[in-house]
Amino acid sequence: MIESWRWYGDLDTIPLSDIAQTGATGIVTALHEIPYGEVWPTDTIAARKAHITDAGFEWVVVESLPVHERIKRGDGDLSKLFANYRQSMANLAANGVHTICYNFMPLLDWTRTDLTAPVAGGATCLRFEATRMAAFEIHMLGRSAAEDDYPEDVRAKAAVWFQQASEADSEALLGSIMAGMPGAFDRYDLAGLRDALSAYEGIDRDVLRSNYKRFLDEVIPAAEELGMRLCVHPDDPPRDILGLPRIVSDGDDLDWVLGAYDSPANGITLCSGSLGANPKNDVPAIAAKVADRIHFAHLRNVAKDPDGSFEEAAHLEGDTDMVTLVQVLLDEQKRRRAQGRADHLIPFRPDHGHHMLSDLSQEMIPGYPLIGRLRGLAELRGVISALSHAS
C-alpha cells in the first residue's frame, strides 16, 4: 500500500519538510484556492506537482476536485460546469495525476459539533454530539422539520443544552459545524445557512440520486478516455442532516453508485471512519464486496454512542476491526498484482487524528494534526507490515 498524507498546500501549517519525516511517500492534495466550478489550469497543476516532486513525494490522489452545488441540485444549464470538470480532469491527466477523490454530499462536507472534545491523556478529537446537533437544528437554525429527525430523549437534552448555552457556546457550535465546509470558501452565519438550505427545497433522495447519475454520465466516459479513476467519498456523518438527503452512506448506496455507471473508472474512496459511524455498517464486509473498485482508502476509526453520537478514536481502537479491514485491502492488492496490473498498490492515508503533544499548542486544520496522524500512520504501518509478513 502507498503511505500517503493529506496536505492543504498554502493553506496548511504543516510543511512538506515535516511530512517527509513521517515516512509517507505520497501526497494527497488539491487546488483549494480555485473556486468551485472553475477550470484547474495546467500550469497551476504543474507548479503544484513540481513543488511536491521537488520535496521528494509523488502526488498520488487529488482530494478533491469539488462537484459544484448546482450540479448536485440539478440547477439550470450545467453544460459549462460539466465541461469545466472534464477539462480539469484532462489537465490533471496531462500532468500524470490520475486518481480523483470527490464527494456528492449536499452543501456540507464532514460535520462535527466539537473540534476539541477531550480524550484520555489530555489529547482532543473531533466529535459529533447528537444532542448539540439537535439543539443547533431545532433551536438555533429553527428548521421546521428538525424535530422529526431526533428521538424524544435527544430533543429533551437538546432543549436543556440550548437553555443553558451562552452566546459563546452557540457561536462555538456554529463554528464547529462550519469547519466541515470544504475548501476555502462558503462559510455561513445562521441566516446564510438558511438561505443555502432553501436552495435544496424539494430535493429528496431520489432527485439527488438522479442528479448524481447525470454527473457520472457526464464525467466517467471522459475518465475512461483519460485513463483516470474517480472515487466517491462516503457521507460524513452517514445520515441525512440539516434536512439534506445523503445517498452514499452504506453498502446498498455503494452498490447503487457502482451500478449507476458500471466502469472501473467509477470507484470508491473507502473511508472507514465515515462508513464506521453508521451502526449497521460492517466496514470490512463492505470493503470486501466493493474491493475491486476501491481506488483510495482513508483509514481511521470512530467510537459510537447509542444516541447517534460518535467521536474519532485512535486508529486501532474504536468500533471497526482495522486489522481485518487492512487484510481485505492487502488481499485485493494481491489479486490485482496477479492480474499483472502495474497500478495494483492502493494509496491510503491516516485520516483524522487526535490533537496531541505539540499539536495542542499550534494552529492546525481541525482533524489534521501532525503528531496525531503520525501516530495513526505508524500504527497502520505496523499492521500492514505484520500482515504482509504473515502471508
Among residues 315, 351, 355, 359, which one is catalytic?
Answer: 351
User: What are the two backbone dihedrals, phi and then psi, of residue 262, each rounded to the nearest 5 degrees?
Assistant: -80, 100
Among residues 352, 354, 355, 359, which one is catalytic?
Answer: 352
The H or E element spanning position 58 is strand 58-63
Among residues 68, 139, 298, 355, which one is catalytic?
Answer: 298
Active-site annotation holds for 331: no
Spatial contact of 22 and 374, defined as CB atoms under 8 Å apart: yes
Among residues 68, 98, 139, 233, which one is catalytic?
Answer: 233
For the chain, the C-alpha Rg in angstroms (whole number) is: 20
Active-site annotation holds for 319: no
Q: What is the DSSP secondary-structure string of 121-181?
A: GG-EEEEE-HHHHHHIIIIIS--TTGGGGS-HHHHHHHHHHHHH--HHHHHHHHHHHHTTS
Among residues 102, 150, 271, 315, which one is catalytic?
Answer: 271
- Measured distance CA(376)–CA(11) in Å, rounded: 22
Active-site annotation holds for 352: yes
Active-site annotation holds for 261: no
Active-site annotation holds for 354: no
* CA distances (Å), origin 41, targets 38, 80, 179, 219: 9, 16, 27, 18
Active-site annotation holds for 101: no
Spatial contact of 234 and 228, defined as CB atoms under 8 Å apart: no
- Measured distance CA(103)–CA(298) in Å, rounded: 13
DSSP state of 244: B
Catalytic residue set: 233, 271, 298, 351-352, 368
